[in-house]
Structure 1
Amino acid sequence: MAGLNVKPIFLLSTIIFGLWVLHASAELQRFEHPSKTDGSLSFLVVGDWGRRGAYNQSEVAFQMGKVGEKLDIDFVISTGDNFYDNGLTDQHDTAFEESFTNIYTAKSLQKQWYSILGNHDYRGDALAQLSPVLRQIDNRWLCLRSFIVDSELVEILFVDTSPFVEEYFSDPGEHRYDWRDILPRESYVNKLLKDVELVLKESTAKWKIVVGHHAIRSVGHHGDTLELMKLLLPILQENNVDFYMNGHDHCLEHIRDTQSPIQFLTSGAGSKAWKGDFKMGNKGGLIFFYDGQGFMSVQLTQTDANIEFYDVSGKVLHRLITSKQLHSSM
């Protein structure tokens, strides 16, 4: 049992699945998640899933369990929109167990889940998903706005992207967003960008991954997120980020940045998908696109990354293999 030292300081009484919280860099909480004894790391990535098992969520979860066992995964990443349609009503909303605990039941998925908020999560009680109360209900759950997972081999920086999107503030329509602790928006975003830049500049990890809910580049329903292209992408390009992973568009896709080595990887197909919704005019760098349900796996070593996209039946649809030594991908 050990205490947690972060900046600002929070004290938690337990360590979740061997998880240790270290001193936070750039005001963001940093969680240490050790690699395997051979130095490798593997995890699954899924987004846009929480529908009480509907829209093939349960089928995707079943295949995640099989792949998770095969790869002996270390944890799972959720790219947001964790609970539809409007997040959670409060800390005791039964949707948490009905869409998470009771769905991802495979033994291999009983690992730490690192989650961020999506725009649909902000339409409910956003603070409920961040609450330690949910971790008491299911100790796999860890959801924060922005934070760092550090295994030495890789640093994964989770970025709260919803506040970047101007439309949610200027033209929310019928939706009501929970912007507690966000306003004033400009100050929040500017501070977050500074934190992101500092974390990436200080990182000595072999691999650098940034996770956000919204796509920077996408040919799916929502397309590119212009605010992220303008504000976040230049920081990622300047700091040698390897992968940007996101959800939001209900599809699987792989787009190569045309100005840097960054690979844009969308895994937002955890339940409902948009069949045939493809933006024809936005195909620069597109390598793979699939608008059915599915998820993604990531395997990392000191020299290689092996990333695979799976459909609802567990079939591998696309594979990305990249080497740090060769600086090439296919």
Structure 2
Amino acid sequence: MPFFNYRARTTSLNLLVLACIYFVHSFAEPPRFEHLTKGDGSLSFLVIGDWGRRGFYNQTLVAYQMGKVAEKLNIDFVISTGDNFYDNGLEGVDDPTFEDSFTKIYTAKGLQKQWYSILGNHDYRGNVEAQLSPSISMIDARWLCRRSFLVNTEMADIFFVDTTPFVEKYFADDEHNYNWQGVLPRRKYIAETLEALESGLRDSSAKWKMVVGHHAIRSAGFHGETEELIQLLLPILKANNVDFYMNGHDHCLEHISSLDSPIQYLTSGGGSKAWRGDTKHEHYHDGMKFFYDGQGFMSVELTQAEAQIMFYNVYGDVLHRWKTSKEFHSAV
């Protein structure tokens, strides 16, 4: 497995890598969900993160603009990059925060589509199982949240990775309580997550390969890069020709192009609360295509031959547009 050859920079990461080698011998395949493309073979969706604040901090305004773009693009679904409910997740399936921060906010006709969601670090401070429960989908059928899973379309495979357990500092946090049920033993959980992802990417024949996680691999935002993901996850993405890595966590919008692979790093964490100047780096590197320290969201439009990414602010203005293409051979 190539990612084990990547040299760790800290003692703790070395130990984690060694533990992964020891534990990876079998894994349960993550849930797989099929989502059809449009009749013309195209696919479009929105990406939003770090949003659930009962409409405050411009969450409602962002949702309004999402609705307009969703209808214009006739989106197929919405992706949430985590930190779905602030500050401490949900208390249970009957927590009114779910409806107050989700159902009553994203009311536009264009947003009445499937939402594919992952967990963020704030979600882990609450009742994780509540967000994962089928019971909560009975309250709002749009909601689908799992730890790690795959959405398979006719042209794109989208792999969702539960990144919070990768981050060591959360396990030493004395200020907050995290619900690690279903994660421990941590090293085995991470090893199996990585092995399942690598296997899925290796077997994928999709035209476009995307990975979604809550935490950033590359970012100029306040939280910045996630060392554990650079060491353990990034080599797998590079080895398997992943096109996009999409995340939240940093409350900003940004696009960074990899300098040594085709990967585009896309941060969409502007769903509600954001701060001007929320950055650690005045200048990042040559791969920085776009950075905005404010609220907003992202859209993705795909065909077999082309992908287009757009970022929008709270007024619906297009702040950044980027397009790429691939050679397309139609079936005979």
TM-score normalized with structure 2 length:
0.89
SS of corresponding position for 2:95:
coil
Aligned counterparts of 2:256 and 2:305: Cα–Cα separation in 1: 21
- Quote the RMSD (CA, aligned, Å): 1.2
8 Å CA contact 2:221–2:281 kept in 1: the answer is no
Aligned counterparts of 1:203 and 1:320: Cα–Cα separation in 2: 25
Structure 1 residue 211: Cα displacement: 0.3
SS of corresponding position for 1:28:
coil
8 Å CA contact 1:43–1:77 kept in 2: the answer is yes
Counterpart of 1:4?
none
For CA contacts below 8 A with separation 6 or more, give which structure has more relative contact order. Answer: 2
Aligned counterparts of 2:37 and 2:241: Cα–Cα separation in 1: 21
List aligned pairs for 1:9-24, cutoff 5 A.
none
Aligned counterparts of 2:326 and 2:247: Cα–Cα separation in 1: 22
List aligned pairs for 1:228-307, cutoff 5 A.
228-280=229-281, 283-284=284-285, 285-307=287-309
Aligned counterparts of 1:282 and 1:240: Cα–Cα separation in 2: 27
How far does the alpha carbon of each residue in 1:299-321 deviate from its partner, in whole angstroms, 9 at most, with x for none? 00000001100000000000110
Select which of 146, 158, 162 maps to 1:156.
158
Select which of 93, 114, 119 maps to 1:91.
93
Counterpart of 2:213?
212
Structure 1 residue 274: Cα displacement: 2.0
Identical pairs, percent: 67
Structure 1 residue 281: Cα displacement: 6.6
Counterpart of 2:167?
165
8 Å CA contact 2:310–2:320 kept in 1: the answer is yes
Structure 1 residue 287: Cα displacement: 1.2
Aligned counterparts of 1:211 and 1:127: Cα–Cα separation in 2: 20
How far does the alpha carbon of each residue in 1:62-121 deviate from its partner, in whole angstroms, 9 at most, with x for none? 000000000000000000000000000111000000000000000010000000000000
Letter of the aligned partner of 2:39 in structure 1?
T
Aligned counterparts of 2:28 and 2:243: Cα–Cα separation in 1: 21
List aligned pairs for 1:1-330, cutoff 5 A.
27-169=29-171, 171-280=172-281, 283-284=284-285, 285-325=287-327
Q: Could you say which structure has the higher helix fraction?
A: 2
How far does the alpha carbon of each residue in 1:200-245 deviate from its partner, in whole angstroms, 9 at most, with x for none? 0000000000000000010001000000000000000000000000
Aligned counterparts of 2:283 and 2:203: Cα–Cα separation in 1: 34
Q: What stretches of structure 2 of length at least 5 have no aligned partner?
A: 1-26
Aligned counterparts of 2:327 and 2:255: Cα–Cα separation in 1: 21
8 Å CA contact 1:26–1:199 kept in 2: the answer is no
Aligned counterparts of 2:203 and 2:95: Cα–Cα separation in 1: 39
Q: What stretches of structure 1 of length at least 5 have no aligned partner?
A: 1-24
Letter of the aligned partner of 2:188 in structure 1?
S
Aligned counterparts of 2:203 and 2:290: Cα–Cα separation in 1: 32
Count of matched residue pairs = 301
Aligned counterparts of 2:283 and 2:126: Cα–Cα separation in 1: 32
